[in-house]
C-alpha cells in the first residue's frame, strides 16, 4: 500500500467536535471544579500532573478565576492534552511509527506501469486528495460569537501566568496562522504570546520561523501583517503547529494526511487568513512592523527563563469564538513536560524525511531531558571511515536539525536508543578523544550557554566503532575519591561515579564555585589515574543521585568550545557561567514553582506533593550538600 490507512475511512480519533467529551471517553480526563487562579495555581497543578509519566491525565479546570482583577470565568481551561504516550497515539489516530512508514512509502512512490497497477492506484490517489485543506465560504463554529475591536478585552480570556518571574500572562497553546506578503504561502506555528494589555499581544516568533520570514517581507514593504491566533479545536492542530515542516509547506497538510480527511477552513472576519472552522477561539489582528516591545521574561521549555527581548506586537482587531468555548493551554519548564509526547510523535513521523539526507540512518532519539535541540542520539549503519562525522555535519546543516548542540552517533549493533542505561554503557565503551568533534554553528535562540546569541559550540561523538581498551587506571569508591579531591580543593563538596565498569567511568562533582572551573580541572590533573570523564556542576539545585536531571543540566549549561576539555582527561564544566568565565550575557534563572502556592494547593487537597518529588524534578530551590 502507498499509505498505511484504511481508504475512505476517517481516523478513529477524528470525532473531536467536543474535545472535552472525547478526552473523558479516551483519555481519563480529570475535572477539577475548585475555583483556581489562572496566575500560577492552574499552571502549577498541570506542571505536577505531567510529572506522573504514563499515569498523567488531561485536566479540565471548570472554575478559573483571575484573583488580581476579581474576574470569574465561565470558560473552562483545558491542559495537559498530550498527557501520555498512549493518549498521544489516540490523538494521532494510529501509532506515529505507522504514520512515518506512510510518509516513507510516499517518498518512494513510483508511477504505475501496467494497467493493473494503474487500477490499484485509484484509491490511493483519492486518499491523497484528502490531504489538502478545504476552504469554505460560510462561517464556522468558531465564529458563533463575534467581539468587535471596541469591545475587545483580553482580560476576559483565562490567559495564564505560569511562572513567578514571568513578565505577564501568556497564551501558551496558540495556533498562530500567518500568510506571506504575496498570499502564496500560509503558515501555522505554535508561539507564545504575551498579553501586554486589553488589546495587544507580543509575537514571540524566533528568527528561523516562517512567520518571522513573512514579517520581514511586510516590514520591507512597509505594510501591516495580518495574524490570526486560534485556540482549541482538534488537538492535532496544536501538534501540526510545532511540526518541523519544510519552508513554505502549510502544516495543515499533515492534518489531512493523519486524519485522512480535509481540514475544514473558514476565512477570518477581519483579514484574509483561513483558520480551522472548529477551533474554540480566534484572535484576529495586525502586526505593525514599526512597533516592537520588550517581551518576557518567560519560563521556557528549556527549564530556564528566556530573558526580555524586543519582539513585534499584535493589535487585536476582533475576537470570535464558539458559543461555549474551551481555553486550551500548556505549561513548560523542566522536563518531563507535555512536549515530551508531542516531540515523540514528531520524531517518529519525521524519521523518513531525514533518511534521504542520510540514507544509512537507522533511527534517532531526542530525549526530553536533552530539551530536544540540545541532544540527539542517532543509530547508523557505518559504511566507511569518517561516516559518522559526515552525519554530524549533515545534521548540523539542515533545517531545524541545525540547532542541535550535541549529537552522539552509535552503530547498528547498539541497544535501543531509549534504553539509556545500556546505551550509556555502549557509548562509554567506545568513547575515544580522537573521535570527538568540537565545532561551532547556529544554536537555538533560546540557548543561554553560548557566549553570543545564536552562535555557539557543537559537540559530536562518534561511538560507532569497536570498543576501546579499558584503562589500567586505579579506581576508588566515591568517599575515598572525594577525600582526595578535597585535599586539593575544598570547593568540591560532593561526588558520584557512574558506569564504573565501563571503559570510561563518569565522575560528577558538585562545587561551590569561586573561580573559573578550568583552573580546578587543571589542579585535579594529578588524579588523572582515577578519572576518565569528569563533569562539574554547581552544588545548589543539583542532586548527583539524579542522572535524569543531571543530563538536563549539563546539556543546557555547556558550550562545547568553551566548556569541554580533552586533556588530561575528558572534562566538562556544566556550572552556571558568570564573569569568572568571561561570560558577559545575563545567566537566566531556573524555572521554580512558588512554594507558597504549592503549600496552599496542598492544604486545600488539590495536589499531593512530597519533598522527594520537589527534589526529583527540581520544582523548588534545594541545596543538599555541605556549605
DSSP letters, 405-432, are -EEEEE-TTS--TT-HHHHHHHHHTT--
What is the DSSP annotation of 491-554?
TEEEEEEE-TTSSS-EEEEEE---S-HHHHHHHGGGGGGG-SEEEEEESTT--TT-HHHHHHHH
Residues 324 and 360 occupy one common structural domain: no
Residues 6 or more apart in contact with residue 478 via CB below 8 angstroms:
495, 496, 497
Position 233 scores a pLDDT of 95
Residue 615 and residue 508: Cα distance in Å, rounded?
18
Position 116 scores a pLDDT of 64
Average predicted confidence (pLDDT) for the chain = 92
Residues 307 and 434 occupy one common structural domain: no
For residue 114, pLDDT over 70 is answered with: no
Residue 523 and residue 528: Cα distance in Å, rounded?
10
Q: At 287, is the pLDDT very low, low, confident or very high (cuts 50, 70, 90)? A: very high
pTM reported for the whole predicted model = 0.92
Residues 297 and 377 occupy one common structural domain: no
Residues 218 and 321 occupy one common structural domain: yes
Residues 142 and 284 occupy one common structural domain: yes
627 in any annotated domain: no
The CATH number assigned to the domain holding 123 equals: 2.30.110.10
249 in any annotated domain: yes
The CATH number assigned to the domain holding 364 equals: 3.40.1670.10
Percent of the chain clearing pLDDT 90 (strictly above): 82
Residues 376 and 230 occupy one common structural domain: no
311, 329, 347 — which closes off a domain? Answer: 329
CA proximity to 255, closest of 269, 267, 245? 245
Classify 398 as helix, strand or coil. coil
- Are the beta carbons of 33 and 605 closer than 8 angstroms? no
CA proximity to 330, closest of 107, 171, 558, 522? 171
How many domains does one find in the chain? 2
Position 1 scores a pLDDT of 27
The 10s digit of each residue's pLDDT in 502-546 is: 999 999 999 999 999 999 999 999 999 999 999 999 999 999 999
Residues 241 and 377 occupy one common structural domain: no
Active site residues: 300
Residues 274 and 362 occupy one common structural domain: no
Segment 161-184 mean pLDDT: 96
Residues 390 and 321 occupy one common structural domain: no
Residues 6 or more apart in contact with residue 191 via CB below 8 angstroms:
174, 176, 203, 204, 205, 206, 209, 211
Please state, as a whole number, how many other Cβ atoms lie within 10 Å of the Cβ of residue 33.
Answer: 10
Residues 121 and 70 occupy one common structural domain: yes
Residues 310 and 370 occupy one common structural domain: no
For residue 2, pLDDT over 50 is answered with: no
For residue 175, pLDDT over 90 is answered with: yes
509 in any annotated domain: no
411, 432, 463 — which closes off a domain? Answer: 463
What are the residues facing 287 on neighbouring strands?
A: 225, 314
Position 110 scores a pLDDT of 57
Residues 121 and 244 occupy one common structural domain: yes
438: containing domain: 355-463
Segment 406-417 mean pLDDT: 97
Segment 241-261 mean pLDDT: 89
Classify 145 as helix, strand or coil. strand
Structure-block grid coordinates of residue 156: 476576559
Please state, as a whole number, how many other Cβ atoms lie within 10 Å of the Cβ of residue 364.
Answer: 21
Q: At 399, is the pLDDT very low, low, confident or very high (cuts 50, 70, 90)? A: confident
329, 346, 364 — which closes off a domain? Answer: 329
Amino acid at each position: 500500500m502507498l499509505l498505511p490507512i484504511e481508504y475512505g475511512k476517517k481516523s478513529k480519533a477524528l470525532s473531536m467536535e467536543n474535545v472535552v467529551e472525547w478526552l473523558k471517553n479516551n483519555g481519563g480526563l480529570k475535572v477539577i471544579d475548585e475555583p483556581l487562579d489562572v496566575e500560577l495555581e492552574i499552571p502549577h497543578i498541570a506542571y505536577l500532573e505531567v510529572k506522573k509519566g504514563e499515569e498523567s491525565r488531561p485536566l479540565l479546570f471548570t472554575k478559573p478565576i483571575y484573583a488580581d482583577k476579581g474576574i470569574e470565568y465561565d470558560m473552562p481551561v483545558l491542559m495537559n492534552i498530550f498527557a501520555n504516550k498512549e493518549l498521544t497515539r489516540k490523538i494521532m489516530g494510529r501509532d506515529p511509527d505507522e504514520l512515518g512508514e506512510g510518509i516513507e512509502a510516499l517518498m518512494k512512490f513510483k508511477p504505475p506501469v501496467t494497467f493493473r497497477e494503474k487500477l490499484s492506484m485509484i484509491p490511493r490517489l483519492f486518499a491523497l486528495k484528502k490531504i489538502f485543506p478545504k476552504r469554505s465560504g460560510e462561517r464556522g463554529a468558531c465564529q458563533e460569537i463575534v467581539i468587535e475591536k471596541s469591545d475587545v478585552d483580553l482580560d476576559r480570556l483565562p490567559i495564564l501566568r505560569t511562572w513567578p518571574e514571568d513578565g505577564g500572562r501568556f497564551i501558551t497553546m496558540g495556533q498562530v496562522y500567518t500568510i506571506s506578503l504575496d498570499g502564496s504561502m500560509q503558515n501555522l506555528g505554535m508561539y507564545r504570546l504575551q498579553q501586554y494589555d486589553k488589546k495587544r499581544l507580543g509575537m514571540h516568533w524566533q528568527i528561523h520561523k516562517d512567520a518571522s520570514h513573512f514579517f520581514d517581507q511586510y516590514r520591507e514593504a512597509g505594510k501591516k501583517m495580518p495574524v490570526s491566533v486560534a485556540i482549541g479545536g482538534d488537538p492535532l492542530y496544536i501538534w501540526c503547529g510545532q511540526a518541523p515542516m519544510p519552508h513554505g509547506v502549510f502544516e495543515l497538510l499533515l492534518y489531512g494526511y493523519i486524519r485522512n480527511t480535509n481540514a475544514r477552513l473558514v476565512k477570518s472576519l477581519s483579514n484574509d487568513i483561513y483558520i480551522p472552522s472548529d477551533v474554540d477561539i480566534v484572535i484576529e489582528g495586525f502586526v505593525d512592523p514599526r512597533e516592537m516591545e520588550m517581551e518576557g521574561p518567560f519560563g521556557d521549555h528549556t527549564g530556564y527563563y528566556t530573558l526580555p527581548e524586543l519582539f513585534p506586537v499584535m493589535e487585536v482587531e476582533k475576537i470570535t469564538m464558539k458559543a461555549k468555548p474551551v481555553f486550551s493551554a500548556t505549561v513548560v519548564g523542566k522536563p518531563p513536560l507535555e512536549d515530551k509526547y508531542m516531540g515523540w510523535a514528531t520524531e517518529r513521523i519525521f524519521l523518513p524525511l531525514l533518511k534521504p539526507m542520510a540514507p544509512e540512518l537507522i533511527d534517532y532519539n531526542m530525549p526530553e531531558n536533552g530539551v530536544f535541540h540540545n541532544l540527539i542520539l542517532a543509530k547508523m549503519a557505518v559504511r566507511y571511515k569518517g561516516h559518522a562525522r559526515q552525519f554530524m555535519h549533515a545534521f548540523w546543516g539542515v533545517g531545524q536539525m541545525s540547532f542541535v548542540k550535541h549529537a552522539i552517533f552509535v552503530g547498528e549493533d547498539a541497544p535501543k536508543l531509549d534504553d539509556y542505561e545500556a546505551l550509556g554503557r555502549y557509548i562509554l565503551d567506545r568513547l575515544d578523544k580522537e573521535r570527538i568533534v568540537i565545532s561551532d554553528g547556529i544554536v537555538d535562540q533560546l540557548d543561554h550557554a553560548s557566549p553570543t546569541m545564536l552562535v555557539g559550540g557543537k559537540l559530536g561523538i562518534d561511538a560507532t566503532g569497536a570498543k576501546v581498551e579499558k584503562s589500567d587506571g586505579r579506581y576508588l569508591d566515591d568517599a575515598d575519591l572525594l577525600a582526595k579531591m578535597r585535599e586539593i580543593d575544598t570547593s568540591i563538596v560532593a561526588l558520584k561515579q557512574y558506569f564504573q565498569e565501563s571503559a570510561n567511568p563518569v565522575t560528577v562533582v558538585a562545587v561551590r564555585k569561586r573561580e573559573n572551573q578550568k583552573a580546578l580541572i587543571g589542579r585535579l590533573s594529578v588524579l588523572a589515574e582515577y578519572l576518565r570523564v569528569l563533569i562539574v556542576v554547581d552544588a545548589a539545585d543539583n542532586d548527583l543521585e539524579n542522572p535524569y536531571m543531571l543530563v538536563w543540566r549539563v546539556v543546557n549549561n555547556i558550550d562545547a568550545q568553551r566548556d569541554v576539555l580533552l586533556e588530561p582527561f575528558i572534562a566538562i564544566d556544566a556550572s552556571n557561567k558568570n564573569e569568572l568565565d568571561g561570560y558577559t550575557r545575563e545567566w537566566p534563572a531556573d524555572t521554580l514553582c512558588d512554594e507558597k502556592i504549592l503549600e496552599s494547593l496542598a492544604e486545600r487537597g488539590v495536589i499531593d506533593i512530597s519533598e522527594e518529588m520537589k527534589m526529583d524534578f527540581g520544582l523548588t530551590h534545594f541545596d543538599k550538600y555541605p556549605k
